[in-house]
Each structure stands twice: as structure tokens, then as C-alpha cells.
């Protein structure tokens, strides 16, 4: 699973040096109290994120179209499989084959929904690749482009995006306009905001039938989840 993280920025201290020394003395005398406070805060954050995820999963079951919105989809089934993915993530590439096999086998029972989660702090081509895939979607070729990006993951670069566009039969001028447009950035930002609300920091991440599956998922797990819901 690819995980994005950012290092905290060290701010300039405005404290009086004597006050800082007093704080340090308190910390040295009461280390367990600090640890307890941090752990309590972490538990509160985790509980809050769990509530948000549960609300999302419930909404996915009751009102799937509001979650699907304008995202690329595959399949026509009632069960909705949400995937948050990054085209430069090797774990997403590994999961793509499993998901494709699962959806093709159950296309009348499952609808796959792709959500963009480019981890830009660790993958420099993740966002350009997402924009290119979004542009391909505007011409009805998202999944062909999606498969080609993962197939050529190690070669992702500005030079390859138009080449893939030609290969899958896109209007190149429109493709280039679309991937450079504000609309592309806005669409991806919506997916990023949803991921942030759900506390998702790594890819791939899946959700279906009231359950979340962080990290790569195997075919048996997907089949079991689907059958339990029927």
C-alpha cells in the first residue's frame, strides 16, 4: 500500500526562553501524562474518522449515485465497488488485474467506480497521469487509458501521455486541452477532498457493501463480500 505523508513545518518559536525551560521541566517530570494525552487525542481522531467512514459506507448503499457523481464506472450491477487509486502506485498496479477480473466476471452484479487519489508527495507523475486519464474519460476511453497507464507504469512521463492517447484512438488536440483544463484539476480535487474526509492516506483503498478494504485486496475477498450482500 502506498502511503502519503508530509513532514511538519518547524515554526519559529515566540516563547520566552525561561518559559520554554519550564515547559521542558514539566515534560521531563510527567512523561506519561504527555503520552496519555497524545494517545487519547489519537483515539478521538480515529473514532471521528470511523464515524465519517461509516456514514460514507451507509450513503454508498442507500444513495450510490451521490457518491459515484461524475466518476468513471465499469459494470452495471447494483453492488458498487469504490476504488481510490494512484496510477504510479505499484500496489494499485498489482490490484488492477484482480479488480478487472472481478468486475468482468460480475459485470451484471457490480459497478466499479474509480476515484483519483494521486499521492503527489511521493509520486511525481501521479497527478499528470490522473489528468490524462480524466481527459480520456471525456472521450469515453477512460478504462482503455487506465489499463495502458498501469501497463506502462515505469515509463510514466509527459512524453508518454500523448502516445497512449494516440494508441487508444483519442482526438489528440481535445485530449491535450482537457488534461490541461481547470475542469480536470477540479474533478481530481473533489476525489482528493473525499479521501481526506474519509481519512484515506494510502492507495489502493476499496469500499463495497458497507465494508472498507485498505490496501491490495484478493479476488476471494471481493467475491465473498459480493455474495454476502446478495
Range of the domain at 177: 70-229
Q: Does residue 5 form part of some domain?
A: no
Nearest to 91 by CA among 3, 190, 17, 28: 3
Q: CB-side exposure of 186: number of CA atoms within 13 Å?
A: 5
Determine the pLDDT at residue 177: 98
Torsional class of 154: left (φ above 0), alpha (ψ -120 to 50), beta (otherwise): alpha
Q: What is the CA radius of gyration of the chain?
A: 21
Query: Residues 29, 120: one domain?
Result: no
- Compute the mean pLDDT over every residue in the chain, rounded to the nearest whole number: 87
From 33, 61, 89, give the residue that closes a domain. Answer: 61
Q: Which of 11-25, 36-50, 128-142, 188-202 has the lowest mean pLDDT?
A: 36-50
Give mean pLDDT, residues 32-59. 66
Task: Reply yes or no on whether the pLDDT at 198 is more than 80.
Answer: yes
Give mean pLDDT, residues 172-179. 98
Predicted structure pTM score: 0.78
CATH of the domain at 94: 3.40.30.10
Q: Does residue 3 form part of some domain?
A: no
Query: Residues 75, 158: one domain?
Result: yes
Determine the pLDDT at residue 7: 44
Number of domains into which the chain is organized? 2
Determine the pLDDT at residue 52: 64
Nearest-angstrom CA–CA distance, 7 and 22? 27
SS3 82: strand
- List helix spans (H) across the chain: 17-29, 31-62, 64-68, 90-105, 126-137, 142-151, 160-167, 172-179, 182-197, 219-229
Q: Is the peptide bond before 204 cis (omega within 30 degrees of 0)?
A: yes
Burial of 166-201, coded b for 16+ CB within 10 Å and e otherwise, reads eebebeeeebbebbeeeebbebbeebbebbeebebb
Determine the pLDDT at residue 228: 82
User: Which residues does residue 116 pair with via DSSP β-bridges, in sequence order?
Assistant: 85
Query: Residues 40, 137: one domain?
Result: no
Give mean pLDDT, residues 14-18. 68
Determine the pLDDT at residue 188: 98
SS3 94: helix
| pLDDT higher at 133 or 36 | 133
Amino acid at each position: 500500500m502506498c502511503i502519503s505523508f508530509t513532514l511538519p513545518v518547524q515554526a519559529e518559536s515566540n516563547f520566552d526562553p525561561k518559559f520554554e525551560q519550564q515547559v521542558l521541566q514539566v515534560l521531563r517530570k510527567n512523561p506519561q501524562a504527555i503520552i496519555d494525552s497524545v494517545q487519547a487525542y489519537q483515539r478521538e481522531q480515529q473514532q471521528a474518522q470511523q464515524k465519517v467512514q461509516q456514514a460514507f459506507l451507509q450513503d454508498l448503499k442507500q444513495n450510490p449515485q451521490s457518491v459515484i457523481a461524475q466518476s468513471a464506472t465499469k459494470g452495471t450491477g447494483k453492488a458498487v465497488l469504490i476504488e481510490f487509486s494512484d496510477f504510479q502506485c505499484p500496489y494499485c498496479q498489482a490490484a488492477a488485474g484482480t479488480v478487472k477480473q472481478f468486475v468482468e466476471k460480475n459485470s451484471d452484479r457490480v459497478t466499479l467506480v474509480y476515484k483519483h487519489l494521486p499521492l503527489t508527495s511521493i509520486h511525481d507523475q501521479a497527478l499528470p497521469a490522473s489528468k490524462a486519464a480524466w481527459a480520456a474519460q471525456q472521450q469515453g476511453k477512460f478504462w482503455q487509458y487506465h489499463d495502458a497507464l498501469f501497463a506502462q507504469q515505469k515509463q510514466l512521463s509527459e512524453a508518454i501521455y500523448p502516445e497512449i492517447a494516440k494508441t487508444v484512438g483519442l482526438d489528440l488536440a481535445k485530449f491535450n486541452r482537457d488534461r490541461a483544463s481547470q475542469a480536470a484539476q477540479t474533478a481530481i480535487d473533489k476525489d482528493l477532498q473525499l479521501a481526506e474526509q474519509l481519512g484515506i492516506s494510502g492507495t489502493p483503498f476499496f469500499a463495497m457493501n458497507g465494508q472498507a478494504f485498505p490496501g491490495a485486496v484478493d479476488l476471494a475477498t471481493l467475491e465473498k463480500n459480493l455474495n454476502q450482500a446478495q
